[in-house]
Amino acid sequence: MPRPRRDEERRYGARAVRGAILRAVTEPTHVEAHGGSLGSRLNWLRAAVLGANDGIVSTAGLVVGVAGATDDRSALLTAGLAGLLAGSMSMAAGEYVSVSTQRDSEKAALALERRELREQPEAELAELTELLAERGLSREVAREAAVQLTERDALRAHARVELGIDPDDLTDPWHAAWASFLAFTAGALLPLLAIVLPPAGGRLWVTVASVLAALVGTGWSSARLGAAPPGRAVLRNVAGGALAMGVTYLVGSLLGAAGV
């Protein structure tokens, strides 16, 4: 094969490889193009499972404790509803405050990055080149990718590569608050219904059995979502719930016996 032709093919191959690398760096992935990363969705799902778990354990401990002092259905219903509302509102408020703080931090970081891009464009381009090179790109390709990313959307490029933030998908405190509220409420409904619906003679055992079964499910789900062995997670979850119900029932029984 003539040398000029081999050189031309070699240059063409290098351009093809460089183009493929640049597309991998600059273009969104299939998952990102359809509503965010898988990791983000898993985190939300894990938070929902843990919120439901909190609702189960805290409400079960409350109603079982009251059941140790009295078998009056109205008292159990009142205590359970109060615990459900207090817990769900507390979870929602806490999540709103936490995620609002995170969102404020993200917006502040983006504002700082926007100012630096306006005042020091060359330094920011060099910084982006270094970050891309640290990910395994050659200096030449890293520089070319940094230039293309900057020309396309400099702020978005720095937000994603440097800060790990998607400026088009900042955390929403209201979504987080509602998710926590609903997850806690869904979990809390189980012990509440289990303590007030069955007859007085069997309601305690129905509640304990249903709560422990639910804790097996939430423990297994949280472990699987975290890619951890489910056995220990289930055991810890069930043991914690059983301990909470046992302690509150003992306290309720002592207070009931004392006529408090």
pLDDT at 31 exceeding the cut of 50:
no
pLDDT at 260: 61
The confidence band for 106, taking pLDDT boundaries of 50, 70 and 90, is: confident
pLDDT-derived band at 111, boundaries 50, 70, 90: confident
Q: Is the pLDDT of residue 2 over 70?
A: no
pLDDT score of 210: 95
| Domain regions of the chain by residue span | 39-257
Place of tokens 């499910």: 217
Of the listed ranges 11-25, 133-147, 228-242, 245-259, the one predicted with least confidence: 11-25
pLDDT of residue 18 exceeding 80, the answer is: no
Residues ≥6 apart with Cβ < 8 Å to 40 = none
> What number is the average pLDDT over the span 207-236?
88
* Residue 58 pLDDT: 94
**Average pLDDT of the segment spanning 86-104:** 90
The mean pLDDT of the chain is: 81
Which pLDDT score, from 0 to 100, does residue 12 have? 45
Position 104 pLDDT exceeds 70: yes
Cα–Cα distance measured from residue 128 to residue 135, given in angstroms and rounded to the nearest whole number: 11
Return d(Cα 245, Cα 237) in angstroms, integer: 12
Would you say the pTM of this structure is higher than 0.85? no
**DSSP notation for 40-90:** HHHHHHHHHHHHHHHHHHHHHHHHHHHHHH---HHHHHHHHHHHHHHHHHH
pLDDT of residue 57: 94
Per-residue pLDDT at 233: 87
**Interval 25-41 mean pLDDT:** 48
Asked if 205 and 113 count as a contact pair (C-beta separation under 8 A), the reply is no
pLDDT band of 8, cuts 50, 70, 90: very low
